[in-house]
Amino acid sequence: MQLKEIKIANLHTENNVFLAPLAGYTNAVFREICYNLGAGLTFTEMVSAKGLCYGSEKTEELLCVCDGYGGIKACQIFGSEPEYMRRAAESEALAPFELIDINMGCPVPKIYKNGEGSALMNNLPLAAKIISECKKSGKAVSVKFRTGLDESRIIAVEFAKMCEDAGADMICVHGRTRDKIYSGDVNFNEIAKVKSAVKIPVIANGGVFCAKDADELIERTRADGIAIARGAMYRPWIFAEITGLENIDKKAIVRGQLKKTRELYGERFACVFMRKMIGFYMKGLPNAAKYKERLFKAQTCDEVAAILEEVNFY
């Protein structure tokens, strides 16, 4: 795919291959790894606007950024009340962040039943109010949403126009309906319609697990860029493959991730988190099952590190 910068209000990304927000995964260390591997923009995992307004320590932990991180700082927030969304965007906790991304696409039942995430696609006036309130923060604002709630309610074009009219500086369209969660084919045609309907940058999301998938998504949607979610979770070096970064030492990258995650988040979190991540990274490798069995029994980061040294990622 053709690499180019994306202009989001007064911000300029380094390229148009982004790391999408991933709840439970896009912590500070993982974002830094993906950025160093070529991601032009990375997002925090989704953060509760109310949690920020009430000073939730657990919520604010999600906002950690590694010292020296060189990219645009982007935070994704979620909620259904315009006032809280504006207050969160204006909060001291989000002061370091230059871009606020509003989650209007999360399909998880708990979020949906609370009127948040993709549930906002049921209420365009409320969604528009949330966007316009967040814009009062003076920050750049983007919105992530889906093609619709189900196949009988495909409203991506209408929703995209609403976002633009409400002041959004960029939109990201996940090419599936809410009921599909993360399975099924990506609706390239609907994303292409969105691209033709608005003037703000359109980022396409869904189904990218290799450089060929990225090429197809761009070619068939004509979007300005792509956002990678699960493809990065399994293979963060996908950014290097797409952007042409060569001579990647995968083991060194994972070794560094383990070390920095331990330093930043502590022994227990790092052990549990990196057992899971290394398990993802080993998908499809010879003897993966054998390594995973040992990996998930590991009780310390040192044990995880020892198993990691035995794995051949090539």
Q: Which residues are catalytic?
A: 106
Is the CB of residue 53 less than 8 Å from the CB of residue 87? yes
Give me the residue label for tokens 């708990």: 110
CA distance readout (Å), 65 to 27, 28, 103? 8, 5, 20
Q: Are strands 41-43 and 99-104 parallel, antiparallel or unpaired?
A: unpaired
Helix and strand tally (H, E) in the chain?
15, 11
Residue 239: count other Cβ atoms within 10 Å of its Cβ.
27
Q: Are strands 7-8 and 11-12 parallel, antiparallel or unpaired?
A: antiparallel
The b/e string for 59-98 (b: 16+ C-beta within 10 A; e otherwise) is bbebbeebeeeebbbbbbbbbbbbebbbbbbbbebbeebb
Side-chain-side CA neighbours of 129 within 13 Å: the count stands at 11
Q: Tokens in use for 254? A: 């994972």
The torsion angles phi and psi of 13, rounded to 5 degrees, stand at -80, 160
Q: From CA 20, how far away is CA 31, in angstroms rounded?
A: 10
